[in-house]
Amino acid sequence: MSEAPKTQETQFLSIGTGDQERQIAMLIRPPTKKVAGTTFVWLSGYRSDMSGTKALELDALAERRGLGCIRFDYSGHGLSGGKFTNGTISRWLDEALAVLDHVKPKRLVLVGSSMGGWIALRIAQELRKRKKAPVVQGMVLIAPAPDFTIDLIEPNLSEAERTALAEKGYVEERSEYSPEPNIFTRALIEDGRANQVLTGMIETGCPVHILQGMQDADVPFAHALKLVEHLPADDVVLTLIRDGDHRLSRPQDLDRMLAAAEAMAAR
């Protein structure tokens, strides 16, 4: 692993109006070298934030190579405002796009972890609809969880959990990573259906490198294989890590992530 990057000043971007307004915390590292203006964009997972090990390592790589790096916290996460239980894929996607519109990078390498992999795929889809948009050079998806609400949560709900979801509007699940339970709201699950990507061919327009642990208890490696089936038009590399877990934060895992990200930036 590398040394921690130099301290950056947190900036805040106001998104939404009225009772939907929230302040999105951002850490922006502009590129210092003219390497096609490439900027890494870190996309965190569910209940994760921009200060995690993988995010810091990616930013340190950007600093060493003179590349840009954008990190931010979704609403209800980390330093950002807003209630976590108001969060949906659409809401967090809109925030990611608003951050990109604010920073205006020219070329992107999207690096998404878990749920961040889903949002990375949706960002690519949305940018391809625009006449003027930054170029997505590539993606690095770490234990990606596209459509996790549909494929990984809903099918495994017990009758009691389905009742709680219908009556209370949310269900709680014990977390392996925090003393606080995971909370999945009815709004999150219903909105997930509107953002499904594993329903047909996903056109990213860029190469994709997927890193997936085979000991991942949260996102089975079969889910990564399913994702590959929906990326037939792109240059896709799938690295299966036999002893890797969901976090993929060991030194050897971080080295794989950084090598993949650097290769994408050099394209």
Determine, yes or no, domain membership for 22: yes
Residue 251 lies in a domain: yes
Q: Stretch 170-194: mean pLDDT, rounded?
A: 90
Residue 24: band (very low, low, confident or very high) from pLDDT cuts 50, 70, 90: very high
pLDDT, tens digit, for every residue of 239-263?
999 999 999 999 999 999 999 999 9
Q: For the chain, give the longest Cα–Cα distance.
A: 56
**Is 191 a domain residue?**
no
- Indicate whether 10 pLDDT > 60: yes
Look at residue 180 and tell me whether its pLDDT is greater than 90: no
Per-residue pLDDT band for 1 (boundaries 50, 70, 90) equals: low
Residue 124 resides in a domain: yes
pLDDT at 2 over 80: no
φ and ψ at 27, to 5 degrees? -125, 115
Please say if the pLDDT value at position 35 is more than 70.
Answer: no
Exposed e or buried b for every residue in 178-216, given b needs 16+ CB within 10 A?
Answer: eeeebbbbebbbebbeebbbbeeebebebbbbbbbbeeb
Residue 60 has pLDDT above 60, yes or no: yes
Number of domains in the chain: 1
On whether residue 176 sits in a domain, the answer given is: no
CATH number of the domain enclosing 36: 3.40.50.1820
What pTM was estimated for this model as a whole? Answer: 0.94
93 assigned to some structural domain: yes
Whether residue 216 is predicted with pLDDT greater than 90 in this model: the reply is yes
Instruction: Please report whether residue 140 resides in a domain.
Output: yes
Q: pLDDT tens digits for 114-164?
A: 999 999 999 999 999 999 999 999 999 999 999 999 999 999 999 999 999
pLDDT of residue 33: 67
- Cross-strand partners of 241: 213
- Identify the pLDDT of residue 179: 80
Q: Which residue has the tokens 């099918």?
A: 155
- Reported as a pLDDT band with limits 50, 70 and 90, residue 233 is confident
What per-residue confidence (pLDDT) applies to 166? Answer: 92
Q: Would residue 183 count as lying in a domain?
A: no
**Is 36's pLDDT higher than 60?**
no
Q: What whole-number percentage of the chain has pLDDT above 70? A: 96
The alpha carbons of the chain give a radius of gyration, in whole angstroms, of 18
- Domain coverage including residue 58: 11-145+201-265
Burial bucket for residue 9 (CB in 10 Å: 0-12, 13-18, 19+): exposed
CB 219 within 8 A of CB 211: no
